[in-house]
Amino acid sequence: MKRFHFPHRLKNLLLVLAGNAVYALAVNMFVLPCGLITGGTTGLALAAQHYLGLPVADFVLISNVVMFVLGAAIMGKWFAFNTALSTFCYPLLLKAFAYIPGIGSLTRDPLLATIFAGVMIGGAIGLVIGAGASSGGMDIPPILLNKFFGLPISGVMYVLDFVILIGQMSFAEKDQILYGVLLVLLYTLVLEKVVLMGHSKIQVNILSEKNEEIRKIILNVLDRGCTVLHAQTGYTHAERDMLMTIVTNRELAKLNHLVLEADPQAFMFINSVNEVHGRGFTLRKIYK
């Protein structure tokens, strides 16, 4: 069992480190040099810097430690271990990257900075959350609310980030506020896509006069599983069998071609599935 878990956990640790490095780079390259306001712990740190004169990296470290203790007490040891990396690595990297010569001179265009910061921050948080950890700070409350109440992480992050943005509006210019709203919207959208990346699949439902032929195509040509569902048509009340299968995005075009080749009159409807667990996906296939 240990042999199975070690590569998976090592991969997650590397993803956590990479996510925090990208996050720290985004803040140093675009957020701070262009005077952007943002959500999350970094947004709180910008407000603390303005009102209290506290350095951004120091405030982030203090906030992350507090949230880390809360998350560790509720989510368990493995979550705590992964999140500990973010708790200390992000503020340290944030401070270390600031000493790189010219790191903040890439652009002074606030729109470009907003776009690139949004993509990088969203991708960074997505990598960390996808690894089963948190980037620390204000990312932990959405994860806890998702665990206990099923609230979507991205939706809760929207609300918290906009509350934090409101707290910065008293000292920010109008343009800064608008760019801040755009930044939060952008990185939350990117976060959602990155978290689902590699997990989403396609569900295909097929009604055909040649169900048996299509079933064999799915099993033998695509090497995918298939479920036969008993259905009744709404107009004629005819009893029919419907085939349901789960395929990857790349396999969808091939399946569509094979089905229509077998039966040009086949009726198909396709749904996106966020995540799939089981044989052929998260578990090894077993051939009989």
**Angle between the N-to-C axes of helices 140-149 and 153-168, in degrees from 0 to 180, rounded to the nearest 10:** 140
Cβ atoms 98, 24 nearer than 8 A:
no
Q: How far apart are CA 47 and CA 50, in angstroms?
A: 5
Taking only the tens place, the pLDDT of each residue in 44-66 is 888 888 888 888 888 888 888 88
The pair phi, psi for residue 281, each rounded to 5°, is -130, -75
Q: How far apart are CA 35 and CA 48, in angstroms?
A: 14
Residue 78 has pLDDT above 90, yes or no: no
Cβ atoms 270, 255 nearer than 8 A:
no
Position 41 confidence tier, pLDDT thresholds 50, 70, 90? confident
Between 154 and 112, where is the model more confident?
A: 112
For residues 259-275, give the mean pLDDT: 87
Residue 5 has pLDDT above 70, yes or no: no
Helix then strand then coil, in percent of the chain rounded to 5, is: 65, 10, 25
Between 136 and 185, where is the model more confident?
A: 185
Residue 22 has pLDDT above 90, yes or no: yes
Q: How far apart are CA 162 and CA 218, in angstroms?
A: 47
Position 145 confidence tier, pLDDT thresholds 50, 70, 90? confident
Cβ atoms 36, 30 nearer than 8 A:
yes
Question: Which residues on neighbouring strands pair with residue 224, listed in sequence order?
Answer: none
The pair of structure tokens assigned to 55 is: 């350095």
Position 24 confidence tier, pLDDT thresholds 50, 70, 90? very high
Residue 237 has a pLDDT of 84
Between 97 and 149, where is the model more confident?
A: 97
Between 82 and 32, where is the model more confident?
A: 32
Question: Residue 147: helix, strand or coil by DSSP?
Answer: helix
Question: Which DSSP string do the residues of 24-86 spell out, in sequence order?
Answer: HHHIIIIITTTT---SHHHHHHHHHHHHH---HHHHHHHHHHHHHHHHHHHH-HHHHHHHHHH
The pair of structure tokens assigned to 118 is: 């949004």
Residue 118 has a pLDDT of 93
The pair of structure tokens assigned to 242 is: 């419907």
Cβ atoms 145, 80 nearer than 8 A:
no
For 106-115, letters b (16+ CB in 10 Å) and e give: eeeebeebbb
Q: Could you give the domains of the chain?
A: 2-196 (no CATH), 201-273 (3.30.70.120)
pTM over 0.75: no
Residue for token pair 């993509």: 119
For residues 206-220, give the mean pLDDT: 91
Residue 70 has a pLDDT of 78
Which of the residue ranges 20-29, 79-88, 132-141 has the most confident prediction, judged by mean pLDDT? 20-29
Residue 286 has a pLDDT of 64
Question: Which DSSP string do the residues of 181-198 spell out, in sequence order?
Answer: HHHHHHHHHHHHHHHHTT
Q: What is the DSSP letter of 283?
A: B
For residues 230-249, give the mean pLDDT: 86
- Is residue 91 exposed (0-12), middle (13-18) or buried (19+ Cβ within 10 Å)? buried
Cβ atoms 55, 61 nearer than 8 A:
no
Residue 12 has a pLDDT of 79
Residue 82 has a pLDDT of 63
